[in-house]
Structure 1
Amino acid sequence: MGQRVRGVIAPGRGEPVRIETITVPDPGPGEAVVAVQACGVCHTDLHYREGGINDEFPFLLGHEAAGVVESVGDGVTEVAPGDFVVLNWRAVCGQCRACVRGRPWYCFDTHNAAQKMTLDDGTELSPALGIGAFADKTLVAAGQCTKVDPAARPAVAGLLGCGVMAGLGAAINTGGVGRGDSVAVIGCGGVGSAAVLGARLAGAARIIAVDLDERKLTTARKLGATHTVHARDTDVVEAVRELTGGFGADVAIDAVGRPETYEQAFYARDLAGTVVLVGVPTPEMRLELPLLDVFGRGGSLKSSWYGDCLPSRDFPMLIDLHLQGRLDLDAFVSETIALDGVEAAFEKMHHGDVLRSVVVL
């Protein structure tokens, strides 16, 4: 029969979002219905609204979410009704060549719910990142639900579902930051700030935050940056080298995803250092580097997919660290808003006024 609930819809390219009544089907085999308690407003949702991901409108936006499992379909063993879960957009298959080689965080065949949520007139919705959590309830693949300690506030727990996990993982998982390392993070929005926090958690000795916005640099300091570089009036590469004994950082993280910031990260790292790209480029962007420099500087050039996380491993561990007071997830919540505040939150995000607005249902 399904249920009729409220959801935030992006009806067409660049059009303002609006709240519509949507139908959430009963869960089929391998699926779960989750009552959403909180969902962060992420740049990816804005990209969907602007048509920057694809043109499969209308979209049901929202993906950075936590809530309670309401019901499950046949064959579901991972979670049960009543479980408090963080939603993830990479439900691993367990059978592809990455999974069978013991690298499920690279899973090449992640999946979503088979059924579609719809508008009242039967129009099928495309859920953002296969989740669609700006809604009272949503239908997902059961593998997209990761059970965590219910003592965590939904408004902070849900942030692990995307941006915060991407940044933390870029430092810890992809970059392999270790004790005593030097780290440069270029771009200190939500993802970059999380990378700063991840570097601190991993024991980095020197953490250099780089941005054009002094407000973001102030936040980065609070999260663990030992030094900051204002990129507007400073040669970023030279500044990072000066702060690292003239050598460059052991790990340089590009949390912006533009050719110019990637080039800064490339040259701001030490010889045999690591570059991590976690900011998402747009399709038309191109990069040109001297191949001799790529060879001569050695080290690793890596892209970070979702912080190379394995939700079943990483989410519960990070929530436990948060509850122990060792991981300040509350610092990322700039404001809590109602479901009808998403459009205004996009505007604040565009102007850099917030790290995260979080919809609380």
Structure 2
Amino acid sequence: MPHEVKAVVAREKKAPVSVETIIVPDPGPGEAVVAIQACGVCHTDLHYREGGINDDYPFLLGHEAAGIVEEVGAGVTGLEPGDFVILNWRAVCGQCRACNRGRPQYCFNTHNATQKMTLTDGTELSPALGIGAFAEKTLVAAGQCTKVDPAAGAAVAGLLGCGVMAGIGAAINTGGVTRGDSVAVFGCGGVGDAAIAGARLAGAEKIIAVDLSDRKLEWARDFGATHTVNSGSTDPIEAIRELTGGNGADVVIDAVGRPETYEQAFYARDLAGTVVLVGVPTPEMRIDLPLLDVFGRGGALKSSWYGDCLPSRDFPMLINLYLQGRLDLGRFVTEKVGLNDVEEAFAKMHRGDVLRSVVVF
């Protein structure tokens, strides 16, 4: 029988969100209904509200979530009611050219639930990143559920569903940070600090955090930054070069996603170094670099989509590191809020007052 639940909906572009009753259908073949326990407030949700993703309003917001499987549809294997799961937006198909080449982390045909959740008047909702988890319950493809140890707790586990995984993966999976590397990270919000934590896990020798906010730079030190640069008062390119013997960093991660920061990242890397873009740009942004510099500096310019993660591999591993005390996921949680507090959480995030507000059900 379909479920009536409370959820956060963005009805119009740039309009405040509202808490409304929605209809969650029973799971069909290959689907699951998950009772959400916690969901992080991610900047991507604000992008949806502002029209920065597409115009498929109304949106059911929320995607950085963990909870308990309540029901599964026909044909679902390896997942059953009662399982504690992190929701992901990379449910690999197993059949596309990337999957067939043994690279499922690049799956080109990730899937979501077939059925639609709706408002009570029947209006179909567009769930953020195919999840829609600012809701008491949500409907997803079974492959979007990754089982992990419930001892972690939903408020921290859910953060791996997007921002923290994106940052850690940008450093380890995309950037290939390894022991003894020098790493610079532009932007010390949730994703940037996760990249710093990932670089520390990988054994980087020098981790340089760059931001305009001294407060955020202090947060970055908590996650493992060995040096900080306030780019409002110091040229970050020169500072990074000075800190790396005049060479530039081996890996530079742009967790902001603006042309200015990308250009700084490009020139702050060592010859044959790697630039990783994990911050999300807006559609109108453009970058203009001398092609000769692109050629002459060598190395790699990479984009990191979801930290190039494979949820079935990476989520349980990172949860185990958390439970071992080697990855402080709890440090990302600035506050726990209710479903009615999402709009204010957006404002706090925009002001840089929080790393993560987490909606707890």
Partner of 1:296: 296
Partner of 1:3: 3
- Partners in 2 of 1:50 and 1:42 — Cα distance? 13
Contact 2:39 2:133 in 1 (8 A): yes
Partner of 2:188: 188
- Which amino acid counterpart does residue 29 of structure 1 have in structure 2? P
Structure-to-structure mapping, 1:1-361, within 5 angstroms: 1-361=1-361
Q: Deviation at 1:15? A: 1.1
- Which amino acid counterpart does residue 193 of structure 2 have in structure 1? S
- Partners in 2 of 1:297 and 1:235 — Cα distance? 20
- Partners in 2 of 1:121 and 1:136 — Cα distance? 19
Contact 2:10 2:57 in 1 (8 A): yes
- Partners in 2 of 1:234 and 1:306 — Cα distance? 31
Q: Deviation at 1:99? A: 0.5
Contact 1:193 1:223 in 2 (8 A): yes
Residue correspondences, number: 361
- Partners in 2 of 1:346 and 1:281 — Cα distance? 18
Contact 1:118 1:125 in 2 (8 A): yes
- Which amino acid counterpart does residue 272 of structure 1 have in structure 2? A
Q: Deviation at 1:78? A: 3.1
TM-score by length of 1: 0.99
- Partners in 2 of 1:282 and 1:13 — Cα distance? 15
- Partners in 1 of 2:77 and 2:147 — Cα distance? 12
Contact 2:52 2:283 in 1 (8 A): no
- Partners in 2 of 1:173 and 1:79 — Cα distance? 27
Contact 1:78 1:142 in 2 (8 A): no
- Partners in 2 of 1:276 and 1:136 — Cα distance? 36
Note the alpha carbon deviations across 1:76-110, whole angstroms, 9 max, x for none.
11311110000001111000000000110110001
- Which amino acid counterpart does residue 196 of structure 1 have in structure 2? I
Q: Deviation at 1:153? A: 1.3
- Which amino acid counterpart does residue 17 of structure 1 have in structure 2? V
- Which amino acid counterpart does residue 332 of structure 1 have in structure 2? F
Runs of 4+ in 1 over 3 A off after TM superposition: none
- Partners in 1 of 2:13 and 2:291 — Cα distance? 39
- Which amino acid counterpart does residue 18 of structure 1 have in structure 2? S
Contact 1:333 1:355 in 2 (8 A): yes
Unaligned runs of 5+ in 1: none
Identity %: 80
